[in-house]
Amino acid sequence: MTHTPFQRRRPTTLKDIANEIGLSVSTVSRALADNPAIAEETRETVREAARRLRYRPNNQAASLRKQRTNIIGVAIPDIENPFFATLASAIQHSARAKGFSILLGNTEEDPELLASSIEMFANQRVDGMIVVPHGETEAIFEDAVDEGIPIVAVDRRLDIATVPSVVSDPAPGFAAAMDAVLANPNATIGFLAGPQDTSTGLERFKVMQALAKERGVDLHIEHGGYNQRDGYKGTVAMLDAGVNAVIGGDAMLTMGAVQALCERSIAIGKDCALVGFDELPMFLYHNPPLSTIDQQVSKMGHEAFELLHEMLSGQHVPESKVLPTIMHDRGSTTLA
């Protein structure tokens, strides 16, 4: 296979700006520092040239002398979500083993905060980035991609040719979960679907629809964000509609389902079947322990860093990776 050449553009220096507009380096430096001794017109000329040449303030001069900072930027949507916290931890462990530190950005599923994190990473001159993108946010990464900063998307895809991804395939886990629930002849299945403006939310929704159609069963679907509140509201709506088997579309949605079932004193694995998403320790503390769909989050984080490290070491764009989901059946899929 022929790999796409990967070239990182040399950072713009004060000398580059000075040569571009015919001023001395000292004048450029003082103008960018907004020194009042430099005429305002000159300062604006320097600022415009700096923007045009994509100059970034040199906050790490010593590290840049060797063209590496040994820092990678990691942007995740929700640090309170156990899945993303575990993902960030796995990336950090893998990075530390190779002598890298991480700079973390918590974007709160907000495109503006994502853009701010990417800008912050670039200003800190990270060696590369691992990001969990939001919906159609490819434009946010244009400058970083143009500058040749290596980027890897994890958990969700980015539609950019030079950005490989590490994602999970939800089909195996969902198929096993649905079949386990359908072993109960009286099961009426509901699915807590995530946001449709994310690649994961949309893909999981489509997979569940296809699986239900293949098996000839009706599927009650409740859409929401990846948060406990929407999982709770969706589960309440399902229970009111007669659903007695719930499959979660992510960890936080599953936590909301548990909350709703407990509030109504509905016994999991007896009065209502429940399959959670993501293999979290807290799901093992229930009675019975929750059956879960496992995305292999630690492996996902490790593989994402390995792809980035490959880009940093080999200067090419590696192929994306897809990890199969695994369903762990622990008894919460039964109905009395």
Check pLDDT > 90 for residue 308.
yes
Domain containing residue 37: 14-52
CATH number of the domain enclosing 192? 3.40.50.2300
* Cα–Cα nearest to 255, from 222, 290, 220: 290
Predicted confidence band at 261 (pLDDT cuts at 50, 70, 90)?
very high
Q: What is the mean pLDDT of the chain?
A: 91
Q: Is 67 left (phi over 0), alpha (psi -120 to 50) or beta?
A: left
Residues 177 and 291 reside in one and the same domain: yes
pLDDT tens, position by position, 311-331: 998 767 889 999 999 999 998
Residues 143 and 123: their CA atoms lie apart, in Å, by 12
Nearest 5°: the CA angle 98, 60, 302 is: 25
What is the tens place of the pLDDT at every residue in 178-221?
Answer: 999 999 999 999 999 999 988 899 999 999 999 999 999 999 99
Domain match, 107 and 151 both? yes
Whether residue 291 is found in the same domain as residue 174:
yes
Residue 100 inside a domain? The answer is: yes
Distances (CA, A) of 138 to 159, 161, 322: 7, 11, 20
Res. 65: pLDDT tops 80: no
Question: Tell me, what's the pLDDT at 145?
Answer: 87
Q: What is the pTM of this model?
A: 0.77
Q: How far is CA 70 from CA 115, 153, 310, in A?
A: 22, 19, 14
* Higher local confidence (pLDDT), 68 or 86: 86
Bridge partners of 292? 276, 328
Q: What is the mean pLDDT of residues 123-145?
A: 89
How does pLDDT run across 147-161, given as a tens digit for each residue?
889 999 999 999 898
Per-residue confidence (pLDDT) for residue 146, from 0 to 100: 84
CA angle 227, 194, 257 (to 5 degrees): 55
